[in-house]
Amino acid sequence: MDWGMKNRLARIIKPETGRGVMLAVDHGYFLGPTERLEVPRKTIQPLLPYADSLMLTRGVLRTSVDANFPIPIVLRVSGGSSIIGKDLSNEKITTSIKDAIRLNVTALALSIFVGARYEHESLVSLAKLVNEGEEYGIPVLAVTAIGKELEKRDERYLSLSCRIAAEFGAHLVKTYYCENFEKVVNKCPVPLIIAGGPKLENEHDALQLTYDAIQAGAVGVDMGRNIWQSDYPVSMIKAVRAIVHENHTVKEAHDLFNKLKTTEQSAKTATSV
């Protein structure tokens, strides 16, 4: 791997622990003003100091993140469908490599839709993006998207999807956690990170998901809703970090969350009076 590529990846997956916490706030690209991400700057700003990298679109990057805050950016460069449209898999590359370079991004992210109507287009887009990324030393994160079919999150499907992403040259793959996740990890020759998916019933469940994924071999998370839809997002991202980087157990991380949320609540109350 070339120096630039290695250096960029090391900004996402920290060499000190071999793991990373990526904060996902790209949801608006097909969901519009997602709950608790209605005003992106307000959601993102307090979480920035605790994320190793930030995944988002160029529109939210330019409007809602200060350029002088040194956080590595993972730029979503695919899109073209909305939640009320006909087919979520109908995506293309929406952002040029030139603009990504202008934005000084650390990695490029694109969804693939294995088994969906536009499978072919999404895979060819991944190949094209990897070609461009290789040319400029910018890693590509492939997202194994499932659209509205949440039931697709099983070992068989995710193994297929992750492996195809790696075969196409993705440098990092984001997927979902599932039972027997270690089998998905073993069959994918590049590092895997997990999405949180829709908000779980409580923070404990999201911490358990994080812990199980790390134990099974994921190198980190690319988590969104289970962090910023929590009533205590700063406490939550800190607890997730503790599992990812400090090998906390679920109980230790949950205790930490409970301790931190008291301070977060007091800070909220102080600013609202």
Query: For residues 168 and 177, which CB has a smaller minimum distance to ligand 5RP in the complex?
Result: 177
- Which residues lie closer than 8 Å to 146 by C-beta, 6 or more apart? 113, 152, 153, 157, 176
The residue type found at 14 is K
Q: Using CB under 6 A, which residues numbered 134 to 173 contact ligand 5RP?
A: 143, 145
Counting beta carbons within 10 angstroms of the beta carbon of residue 53, is it exposed (0 to 12), middle (13 to 18) or buried (19 or more)? buried
Instruction: Return the residue of 195, 218, 242, 260 that touches ligand 5RP, per CB under 6 A.
Output: 195
12 part of the interface to ligand 5RP, by CB under 6 A: no
Give catalytic status of residue 174 as yes or no. yes
Q: How many CB atoms lie within 10 A of CB 214?
A: 20
Q: Specify the stretch interacting with ligand 5RP by CB under 6 A; choose among 129-137, 193-201, 248-256, 263-271.
A: 193-201
Beta-bridged to residue 22, according to DSSP, are 53, 222
Near ligand 5RP by CB under 6 A: residue from 5, 9, 13, 24:
24
Annotated catalytic residue, options 152, 174, 238, 261: 174
Helices in the chain by DSSP H: which ranges? 3-12, 28-31, 40-44, 58-64, 97-102, 119-136, 155-167, 181-186, 203-215, 225-228, 233-246, 250-272
Least distance in Å: CB of 24 to ligand 5RP? Answer: 3
Provide CB contacts within 8 A for 43, sequence distance 6+: 25, 36, 37, 228, 233
Q: Is 270 exposed, middle or buried (0-12, 13-18, 19+ CB in 10 A)?
A: exposed
Cβ closest to ligand 5RP, residue 13 vs residue 135: 13
Exactly one of 222, 235, 242, 254 binds ligand 5RP (CB under 6 A); that residue is 222
The smaller minimum CB distance to ligand 5RP, of residues 54 and 138, is found at: 54
- Which C-beta is closer to ligand 5RP: that of 25 or that of 137? 25
**Closer residue to ligand 5RP (CB): 184 or 223:** 223
116 binds ligand 5RP (CB under 6 A): no
Which of 20, 196, 220, 233 touches ligand 5RP by CB under 6 A?
A: 196
In angstroms, what is the minimal distance from the CB of 130 to ligand 5RP? 18
Query: Is residue 220 a contact point for ligand 5RP (CB under 6 A)?
Result: no
Instruction: Tell which one of 44, 55, 130, 140 touches ligand 5RP (CB under 6 A).
Output: 55
> What Cα–Cα distance (Å) separates residue 112 from each residue in 52, 271, 272?
24, 42, 43
Q: CA-CA distance, 254 to 239, in Å (whole number)?
A: 7
Chain contacts with ligand 5RP (rule: CB under 6 A): 24, 26-27, 55, 111, 143, 145, 195-197, 222-226
